[in-house]
Chains A and B, each alone.
Chain A
């Protein structure tokens, strides 16, 4: 019996052009989105490759590093076609700021970017997350809105129910048929997208390790579409007319896709307010200024308390330096100790500010994510974004990269510097081997396991939503008055 109802549902959807339209839409939108995203990626990858090549040329040795500063670059996400996520606000690189001194390097994110394509900013990106949660979600509504109530209006439901067909079989067949057709149209679109990008030479699989996250992303999208179809059946089974089902579905979609995710951010801001990045930067600048002042005062005090040195003229001092006068060497050593002691305090203070801010940001983001999970749309967006490498895991990885890069520069450069100050003169070359290779930190992609660990809750929730919606539709259909 299931097969008969399933076949009837399939034929009905095919005959009234729904499937044809879904197929056409998927065959246009998904490949178009893939091509747009991949072209954008190809351009940005070119820029990244050129930048890394130039960096290798420009900063070969430690001497080059001292003159030009240093940077570690973030490659663009190869799977941005799944979701562009927060890639536009992620840093392009971490770089040293100003000259590296013995106090340690100042390492900052480079977020400077030019507006390459203003239309993308205006119209939004056509990535898979957007296509599935907006365009295909509307498509699902077309399939589902009158699946039950439409049959009631046409009076065919009463005829079906007059036969010895159990209601669970009818609703399950409707779900299976709708899911089959939607899945077929969606997968055809994805396949067409892969073929088109491959034909154009811009497919995402040229970068290693992209197949698995891509496949998981497509599977998660499919689960979302099925869950949303189940939701459509639930609304249809609770409506008395097709129009009210459509209006109800549209309202729910708007709430789930637009209101809830955005409101989650507002709620998180209210529950866990944090400072802005600019305020934190200002705090750090103030700490650095205070440090500078304290060091200068301490060095001046040292100078004043070092008899024999404090009254020297610049010429006498330099002469004594060249003659390796023990009094001067003692003075330089004491100054080095003061600087090391203050540098440790400065770095600890800066690290504390950064850590506190990072903790606050993470707490606020976690709160927003938890609230947003009330909507399956948010769950899917999280999954696709993390799989694409354009989400929170990437952000966390780059914050870690900033720390690692600073440690590397401090180890190879800053700690080997040895500058001594006498009045207005700073001198000394330190123990840096200027011909040694410049410190480099190659980009390390976030492993798939880490990304999956960040989204497993969302994946499970998507499946639970699917089950819940279908169960709701099933119960509602059991109680449905078919007259």
Chain B
């Protein structure tokens, strides 16, 4: 019986104007996003080819991540160049585009579409499932037969979920296939696996909003009231809580400003290089001290920064949108955890460069070369252990909670 109701929902969706528009919307949005992000990726790749360090140069620079086409995350920050010198690590704008107009209307990546637009579409599929059927009088007819309310709700959920998920997956798969035709966009099998995981997370996220729509629909008497309440909740989850969480976390964890750090580095440099040299000290000792003290400062900063990130993340998790974005961007390798790890690797690279400089301090060689910086994304196991698993479980929990609540509300619903 559940499947019969699901089929009825699919059939009624297929025949509706709503489905046609939503389908068109998904096609347009996913195609536009992939097209724009693909162009952006190609541009950044071209810039990377130009700016990549020559062999032997002590510069840390990573290539743009092809998965950033789907989940841009912090890829821009991660693809900046980190120039190592005896004094400091200079961060330069990396594969930046040539015109600020590109930053004026940043392209909505796939995650943005899912998080903001498709969540709204999922609500559109769910908001009238109970209240509108009551208004139309069809709910009475349906429940007049021997079918249980649990089956009705499950059938509605399955039917609507499939109506939403099928075009979404189809369009994404088609878009990805077109992307794969470009020889510059080379997805490894591991990256395709990561993409599949991102899609699975997207479905979990959309499933939650569908259940939420049905829950509110089962709590209201009219579809119009239901959509008003739902849009409010949507704004709360998608925009308000993630910003509020970060703001609140900043009240509890104080992180030194970048300027304060830079000032401390300058003080160390003045003490070790200017005053140290004036006092007749060895310059190589000064360089070693600068490197050591900068590392200590970086470490202190990193610990505080990680506390801030953890607390922000924990508060933000009240919203499934934040859990979804965190988990999906980490899986893509463009998340906050990956960026923190990259910075750690850059510091380690700087230490190795400084060690090489100090070891050959008295050797005059104009053509000094250094080992190239290499960086590999964290393996998926590590990504999940670091929080993505919790976020996934949290999304599943949100799904179960919202569906169970919808079920309870529907059982108590007065169908007259």
Contacts and interface: CB of A to CB of B under 8 A. Distances in A.
B309 interface: yes
A426 B87 CA distance: 27
A135 B43 contact: no
B219 interface: no
Contacts of B244: 32
Contacts of B51: 278
B46 interface: yes
A289 to B, nearest CB: 15
Interface stretch (B18-26, B150-158, B396-404): B18-26
Interface string A240-260: 001110111011001100110
Interface stretch (B194-202, B255-263, B374-382): B255-263
A50 B242 contact: no
Interface stretch (B223-231, B289-297, B352-360, B383-391): B223-231
Contacts of A135: 235, 239
Nearest to A113: B91
Given A25-B235, A122-B325, A385 B257 contact: no
Contact of B124 (A114, A250, A259): A250
B35 A266 contact: yes
A112 B92 CA distance: 5
A268 interface: yes
B123 to A, nearest CB: 10
Interface in B38-96: 39, 43, 46-47, 50-51, 73-74, 76-77, 90-93, 95-96
B104 A265 contact: yes
Contacts of A50: 259, 263
Given A112-B90, A266-B39, A17 B228 contact: yes
Contacts, number: 212
Contacts of A197: none
A261 B316 CA distance: 29
Contacts of B239: 29, 126, 134-135
A294 to B, nearest CB: 23
Report whether over half of chain A's contact residues are helix, strand or loop; otherwise say mixed: helix
Contact of B103 (A88, A113, A263, A357): A88
Contacts of A269: 39
B312 A365 contact: no
B9 to A, nearest CB: 15
B183 interface: no
Contact of B232 (A21, A266, A385): A21
Interface in A211-264: 242-244, 246-248, 250-251, 254-255, 258-259, 261-264
B73 A364 contact: no
Interface residues of A, number: 88
Contacts of B335: 122
Contacts of B142: none
Interface in B244-268: 244-247, 250, 257-259, 263, 266
B99 A262 contact: no
Interface stretch (A138-146, A160-168, A175-183, A302-310): A138-146
A384 B266 CA distance: 38
B98 A247 contact: no
B98 A117 contact: no
Contact of B74 (A118, A274, A368): A118
A275 B232 CA distance: 44
Contacts of B229: 21
Contact of B227 (A39, A116, A142): A142
A319 to B, nearest CB: 29
A120 B312 CA distance: 11
A44 to B, nearest CB: 9
A118 B336 contact: yes
Contacts of A395: 100
B107 interface: yes
Interface in A64-103: 85-86, 88-90
Given A21-B228, A117-B246, A142-B228, A90 B100 contact: yes
B105 A247 contact: no
Interface of A: 16-18, 21, 24-25, 28-29, 32-33, 35-36, 39, 43, 46-47, 50-51, 54, 85-86, 88-90, 111-123, 126, 134-135, 138-139, 141-142, 145-146, 150, 242-244, 246-248, 250-251, 254-255, 258-259, 261-266, 268-269, 274-280, 282, 357, 361, 364-365, 368-369, 372, 378, 381, 385, 391-392, 395
30 contacts: A16-B224, A21-B228, A33-B243, A50-B263, A111-B92, A111-B93, A112-B93, A115-B339, A117-B246, A118-B77, A118-B336, A119-B316, A119-B336, A134-B116, A135-B239, A142-B228, A146-B224, A242-B224, A244-B21, A250-B124, A251-B24, A254-B28, A265-B36, A276-B50, A278-B51, A282-B50, A361-B98, A361-B99, A364-B99, A365-B100
Which 8 A/B pairs are nearest by Cβ-Cβ distance? A47-B259, A276-B98, A261-B105, A111-B93, A119-B246, A365-B101, A86-B100, A277-B98
